[in-house]
Structure 1
Amino acid sequence: MATTMLHAPALQVAHWLNTPVPLTLESLRGRVVVLHAFQMLCPGCVSHGLPQAQRLHQLFPPEQLAVVGLHTVFEHHDVMGSRAALQAFVHEYRLDFPIGIDQPDGHQGVPLTMQALRLRGTPSLVVLDRQGRVRLHHFGAIDDLRLGALLGQLVGEPLPPAGDAPAAAGCDDQGCSLPVTA
C-alpha cells in the first residue's frame, strides 16, 4: 500500500540563516525536504542530528533534496534565544544549509512551528515528499541507513501531474498516519 500522509503546516520563522531569501515549504515543492528541528544545547542534536543533516546536504543534489534546519528553542531561552548566539554556533559547526529560527510563542513556551508540527522535542526530523506530504515524523536519533533508504525512495518517486489531489491519510509498512486536527 502506498504511503499517504497530510501536508505539513507552513513554517513560522522569525529569521533565516544561510539563505538569501526566506524559504517556504511551498517554494520547495518538487524536492524532497528534510526538516531537522534542533537546539544548540541539545546533546543529541550536536552529536547526531546536525552532522546527519550536514551530510545529507552535502550528499544529495539540491534540486532533488532540500535540507532545512529549524532552531526551535523551548528551554534555556536566555542562552539560546539570541540570533547572534545561533550565528556563532552555525559558524563554529560549519553548518551551511538554510536554518530558520522558529517563531517564539511570546511566552517562552513551545515555538509556533514546533507546535504546528506537533514535535515532541529535539532532535526531530520531518521528511516531506516532493508533493509536500509528511512521510516521516521522527523524534530522536534515526539511523543513517534507514533514513537514506527512505530518502532514496522518495527522490526516485515521480512527481504526479499538476492538479492531482493529494492522497488521504492511511497506513503502510512504516505505520499509520492520523489526520492532523487544528
Structure 2
Amino acid sequence: MVAPDLLVSHWIDETGRPRTPLTLNDLGSRHRILFFYQHWCPGCHSHGFPTLLELIEHAAPLDVGFAVVQTVFEGFDVNTADQLRLDQQRYELHVPFGHDPISPDGQYPKTMVNYRTGGTPWFVAIDPEGTVIENGFSVDVNKLLSIFRKRS
C-alpha cells in the first residue's frame, strides 16, 4: 500500500509549539515511522510509547523520520489536543505530535481510515519510496532496524 497523505490539521512541533500541518515529506525522504495513540489508552503507555522510544533511540543514527498522532475515536473529553504536549513531555519526545479527532458527523479520524488502523497503539513504517512496510498494533523493533540499516 502506498502511504496516504497525512490529513491532520492540528500539530505541535518537537518543542510543543503549534505548527503548520505536517506532511510525510516533512519527515524526509528516508524511512518514516508513524505512531498512533490515545492519551487514555493503557496499552499505548505500557507498550506503544516504550516501543517508540526504543525505535527512536536505535534509529537515530539511521536518519529515520518520526511523528506521533493521537487518533481520537472515543474518550473525547480525555483525549484532547491539550494532552499532546503532556505526552510529548512525559516521554521526552522531540518529534511532532498531531491530533486527529472523530469528525463532527461521527466519521472515524482520517488517519485511522486512510491507514486502515484497528485502534491504538498502532505503528506504521514507511519506506523511502512511500510504501507502507509495517502496519499494526506492534512492530518487531529488531526487524525494522535491520531494514533501516540495509537502506542507509
The residue identity in structure 2 corresponding to 1:147 is V
**Cα RMSD between the aligned structures?**
2.2
Matched, 1:95 2:93: yes
Distance 2:9 2:61 in 1: 24
Distance 2:11 2:131 in 1: 23
Residue of structure 2 in register with 1:180 after alignment: none
Residue of structure 2 in register with 1:168 after alignment: none
Matched, 1:148 2:142: yes
Residue of structure 1 in register with 2:51 after alignment: 52
- Other structure's SS at 2:4 match: coil
Residue of structure 2 in register with 1:80 after alignment: 79
- Other structure's SS at 1:80 match: coil
- Other structure's SS at 1:53 match: helix
Unaligned runs of 5+ in 2: none
Distance 1:105 1:37 in 2: 17
Over residues 102-155 of structure 1, what are the superposed CA-to-partner deviations in whole Å (9 max), with x where a residue is unaligned?
2542235411111111111001111101111010111x234xxx3322332234
> Kindly tell me: are residues 18 and 112 of structure 1, through their superposed partners in 2, closer, same or farther at Cα, counting changes over 3 Å?
same
Question: 1:103–1:113: 8 Å Cα contact kept in structure 2?
Answer: no
Distance 1:121 1:102 in 2: 13
Question: 2:28–2:65: 8 Å Cα contact kept in structure 1?
Answer: no
User: TM-score, with normalisation over the residues of structure 1?
Assistant: 0.71
- Other structure's SS at 2:69 match: strand
CA deviation after TM superposition for structure 1 residue 35, in Å? 0.8
Question: 2:101–2:108: 8 Å Cα contact kept in structure 1?
Answer: no
> Kindly tell me: are residues 100 and 62 of structure 1, through their superposed partners in 2, closer, same or farther at Cα, counting changes over 3 Å?
farther
Distance 1:134 1:151 in 2: 15
The residue identity in structure 1 corresponding to 2:26 is S
> Kindly tell me: are residues 76 and 103 of structure 1, through their superposed partners in 2, closer, same or farther at Cα, counting changes over 3 Å?
closer
- Other structure's SS at 1:9 match: coil
Unaligned runs of 5+ in 1: 1-5, 159-182
- Other structure's SS at 2:118 match: coil
Aligned residues between the structures = 148
Tell me which structure has the larger Cα radius of gyration. 1
Residue of structure 2 in register with 1:174 after alignment: none
Residue of structure 2 in register with 1:28 after alignment: 27
**What's the % identity of the aligned pairs?**
33
